[in-house]
Amino acid sequence: MKRIGLILAALLIIGYGAFEARRLIAGPEIVILSPKDGSATSTTPLVISGIAQNISFLTVNDNPSYTDEQGRFSVVLSPPQGYAIFTVQATDRFGRKASASVSITVLNFCPVKS
């Protein structure tokens, strides 16, 4: 009976450790929330925002950026008119990398449908 209790306790500790390590094993994750990929806008400056998890370093278009405690980031950029690609890259503490990109079209006006 004592042996079964020790085995169950060991399995519980190992299971909990594996559950907590899942984020470290998964590596960095990036989700760009706005702007939506393929969208068009006539407003500048433009806010790039999203969520980055399991990271130690974050860049937006090769410029350092920061997250809050929940992993949210927000960067204000002024892209030129035309087609623009924004790339968010992250590195975790083990050197693993992840990136996400979004492309938009910056117009000098927005046509109004009649």
20 belongs to a structural domain: no
What is the average pLDDT across 79-100? 92
**Exposed e or buried b for every residue in 47-73, given b needs 16+ CB within 10 A?**
ebbbebbbbebbebbeeebebeeebeb
91 belongs to a structural domain: yes
Overall pTM > 0.95: no
Tell me which of 56-60, 82-86, 108-112 is least confident.
108-112
Q: C-alpha distances in angstroms, 33 versus 67, 88, 93, 111?
A: 14, 12, 24, 25
Q: How many CB atoms lie within 10 A of CB 32?
A: 20
pLDDT, tens digit, 9 for 90 and up, residues 96-114: 999 999 999 988 765 666 5
23 belongs to a structural domain: no
Q: How confident is the model at residue 24 (pLDDT cuts 50, 70, 90)?
A: low
Q: What is the pLDDT of residue 110?
A: 56
Q: What domain range is 78 assigned to?
A: 28-106
89 belongs to a structural domain: yes
56 belongs to a structural domain: yes
Q: C-alpha distances in angstroms, 100 versus 1, 87, 107?
A: 53, 6, 23
77: Cβ–Cβ under 8 A, 6 or more apart, which residues? Answer: 45, 46, 48, 60, 61, 86
Q: What is the pLDDT of residue 14?
A: 84
Longest dimension (CA), the chain: 80
Residue 39, pLDDT > 60, answer yes
8 belongs to a structural domain: no
Average pLDDT of the chain, as a whole number = 87
19 belongs to a structural domain: no
Count structural domains, the chain. Answer: 1
Check which CATH number belongs to the domain holding 92 and give it: 2.60.40.10
Say if CB 98 and CB 32 are below 8 A apart: no
